[in-house]
Amino acid sequence: MAGSSKQVEPDDDARAVEAALAGRQAGYSALMRRHREPVFRMVRGHLGDEAAALDVTQESFIAAFQALRRYDPARAFRGWILRIALNKCRDWRRRRGVRRLFTFASPIEDAHAVADAAPDPETALASAHAVATIHVAITDLPDALKEPLLLCAMEGLTQDEAAGILGISRKAVETRLYRARQKLAHLAEG
């Protein structure tokens, strides 16, 4: 089919970036399809809030696509987009502090309309409760411990890859992973 106008979808990140930079939607779509879930999982683990994670994931891809000309194809796209997502998580946490100030400024009579987000213990499944507890425990970890844990344990990156994304040494990643796991084990015991 030499005369076919059918588009060939890029099969790797470098080709997808080239296609996106050339203005072809297939490039953007391929990058989103390959990296949306890992970015979302990492962001949700960082923030502990699924709705916020969807927003931050979207913000991460928008920022990445706006900066696509600065992407270095010699480096892994996944690491690049995860780094952008980590920065967006940090921005979200800073903005959340401001939002909390305004939340507390609401009149007390409006408090009855605020729904309790905690799961109903009578109807929640034991496994769902355990997963929620783990997510909360991970969310409560300091960023320095949470970020290497999410990148290595949840996203399956090597310690070297996580070190590159976080801008720290491999040994620092190893130490932070050990400390994060200790804290989580301590919480599980107590």
Mean pLDDT within 169-175? 95
What are the backbone dihedrals phi and psi of residue 146, each rounded to the nearest 5 degrees, phi first?
-65, -45
User: What is the Cα–Cα distance from 125 to 72, expressed in whole angstroms?
Assistant: 45
User: What is the Cα–Cα distance from 160 to 153, expressed in whole angstroms?
Assistant: 13
Q: What is the pLDDT of residue 175?
A: 95
- Per-residue pLDDT for 68 more than 50? yes
- Per-residue pLDDT for 110 more than 60? no
Do residues 171 and 160 lie in contact, with contact meaning Cβ atoms separated by under 8 Å? Answer: no
Mean pLDDT within 28-43? 95
| Residue reference for tokens 């980590």 | 86
More confident residue, 92 or 122: 92
Entry pTM: 0.62
User: What is the Cα–Cα distance from 27 to 5, expressed in whole angstroms?
Assistant: 16
Q: What is the pLDDT of residue 104?
A: 54
Q: What is the pLDDT of residue 116?
A: 56
Strands (E), 53-184: none
**Which region among 17-26, 122-131, 136-145 has the lowest average model confidence (pLDDT)?**
122-131
User: What is the Cα–Cα distance from 59 to 88, expressed in whole angstroms?
Assistant: 7
User: What is the Cα–Cα distance from 186 to 164, expressed in whole angstroms?
Assistant: 29
**Domains of the chain listed by start with CATH number:** 10-105 (1.10.1740.10), 124-190 (1.10.10.10)
Average pLDDT of the residues of the chain: 81
37 vs 1, 70, 82, CA distance in Å?
A: 35, 23, 11
Amino acid sitting at position 165:
I
Report pLDDT digits (tens) over 82-91.
999 999 999 9
Select from 67, 40, 68, 45 the least CA-distant residue to 56: 40
- Per-residue pLDDT for 132 more than 80? no
Q: What is the pLDDT of residue 112?
A: 53
Percent of the chain with pLDDT over 90: 51
Confidence of residue 4 (pLDDT cuts 50, 70, 90): very low
Strands (E), 13-146: none
Confidence of residue 56 (pLDDT cuts 50, 70, 90): very high
23 φψ region: left (φ > 0), alpha (ψ -120 to 50), beta (else): left
Percent of the chain with pLDDT over 70: 75
User: What is the Cα–Cα distance from 116 to 139, expressed in whole angstroms?
Assistant: 19
What's the angle, vertex CA 73, arms to CA 81 and CA 68, rounded to 5? 55
Q: What is the pLDDT of residue 184?
A: 83
Mean pLDDT within 89-99? 79
